[in-house]
Protein backbone atom coordinates (compact mmCIF):
# COMPACT_ATOMS: atom_id res chain seq x y z
CA UNK A 1 0.00 0.00 0.00
CA UNK A 2 2.86 2.34 0.84
CA UNK A 3 4.53 1.68 -2.54
CA UNK A 4 1.29 2.59 -4.29
CA UNK A 5 0.93 5.97 -2.62
CA UNK A 6 4.61 6.79 -3.04
CA UNK A 7 4.50 5.91 -6.73
CA UNK A 8 1.28 7.88 -7.33
CA UNK A 9 2.46 11.05 -5.61
CA UNK A 10 6.01 11.01 -6.95
CA UNK A 11 4.84 9.94 -10.43
CA UNK A 12 2.34 12.79 -10.50
CA UNK A 13 4.99 15.32 -9.49
CA UNK A 14 7.64 13.94 -11.84
CA UNK A 15 5.19 13.56 -14.73
CA UNK A 16 3.94 17.13 -14.39
CA UNK A 17 7.50 18.47 -14.27
CA UNK A 18 8.44 16.49 -17.39
CA UNK A 19 5.27 17.64 -19.15
CA UNK A 20 5.86 21.27 -18.25
CA UNK A 21 9.39 21.34 -19.65
CA UNK A 22 8.91 19.13 -22.73
CA UNK A 23 5.41 19.86 -24.07
CA UNK A 24 4.28 23.12 -25.65
CA UNK A 25 0.83 24.65 -25.18
CA UNK A 26 -0.88 25.52 -28.47
CA UNK A 27 -4.26 26.81 -27.40
CA UNK A 28 -6.44 28.45 -30.00
CA UNK A 29 -7.94 31.88 -29.60
CA UNK A 30 -10.84 32.73 -31.89
CA UNK A 31 -11.83 36.39 -32.09
CA UNK A 32 -15.18 37.41 -33.58
CA UNK A 33 -15.50 40.98 -34.85
CA UNK A 34 -18.71 42.86 -35.46
CA UNK A 35 -19.46 45.06 -38.49
CA UNK A 36 -17.52 48.01 -37.07
CA UNK A 37 -14.35 45.94 -36.61
CA UNK A 38 -14.65 45.89 -32.83
CA UNK A 39 -14.09 42.69 -30.90
CA UNK A 40 -17.47 41.14 -30.22
CA UNK A 41 -16.37 38.02 -28.37
CA UNK A 42 -13.22 36.00 -27.77
CA UNK A 43 -13.20 32.21 -27.51
CA UNK A 44 -10.25 30.39 -25.91
CA UNK A 45 -9.99 26.67 -26.59
CA UNK A 46 -7.96 24.05 -24.77
CA UNK A 47 -5.17 22.06 -26.37
CA UNK A 48 -6.41 18.48 -25.94
CA UNK A 49 -3.18 17.02 -27.32
CA UNK A 50 -1.33 18.65 -24.42
CA UNK A 51 -3.80 17.27 -21.89
CA UNK A 52 -3.67 13.76 -23.37
CA UNK A 53 0.12 13.67 -23.65
CA UNK A 54 0.54 15.04 -20.11
CA UNK A 55 -1.80 12.37 -18.78
CA UNK A 56 0.13 9.63 -20.58
CA UNK A 57 3.46 10.93 -19.26
CA UNK A 58 2.09 11.00 -15.70
CA UNK A 59 0.70 7.45 -15.99
CA UNK A 60 3.97 6.18 -17.48
CA UNK A 61 6.01 7.78 -14.69
CA UNK A 62 3.69 6.30 -12.03
CA UNK A 63 4.09 2.83 -13.54
CA UNK A 64 7.87 3.18 -13.87
CA UNK A 65 8.30 4.34 -10.27
CA UNK A 66 6.07 1.52 -9.01
CA UNK A 67 8.07 -1.07 -10.95
CA UNK A 68 11.36 0.37 -9.69
CA UNK A 69 10.13 0.24 -6.09
CA UNK A 70 8.93 -3.33 -6.61
CA UNK A 71 12.31 -4.38 -8.07
CA UNK A 72 14.09 -2.61 -5.23
CA UNK A 73 12.11 -4.60 -2.64
CA UNK A 74 12.70 -7.83 -4.55
CA UNK A 75 16.48 -7.42 -4.59
CA UNK A 76 16.65 -6.21 -0.97
CA UNK A 77 14.96 -9.38 0.27
CA UNK A 78 17.60 -11.59 -1.36
At residue 64 the predicted structure's pLDDT band, cuts being 50, 70 and 90, is very high
pTM to 2 decimals?
0.77
Highest mean pLDDT of the ranges 23-27, 43-47, 50-54: 50-54
How many percent of the chain have pLDDT more than 70?
A: 100
Mean pLDDT for the stretch of residues 1-12: 90
Start-end of H helices in 1-78? 2-22, 48-77
> Quick one: pLDDT at residue 17?
95
What are the residue ranges spanned by the domains of the chain?
A: 2-77
Rounded to 5°, the CA angle 71-19-12 comes to 45
Amino acid sequence: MKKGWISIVSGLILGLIISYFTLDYNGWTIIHHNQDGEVEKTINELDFNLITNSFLIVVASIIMIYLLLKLNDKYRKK
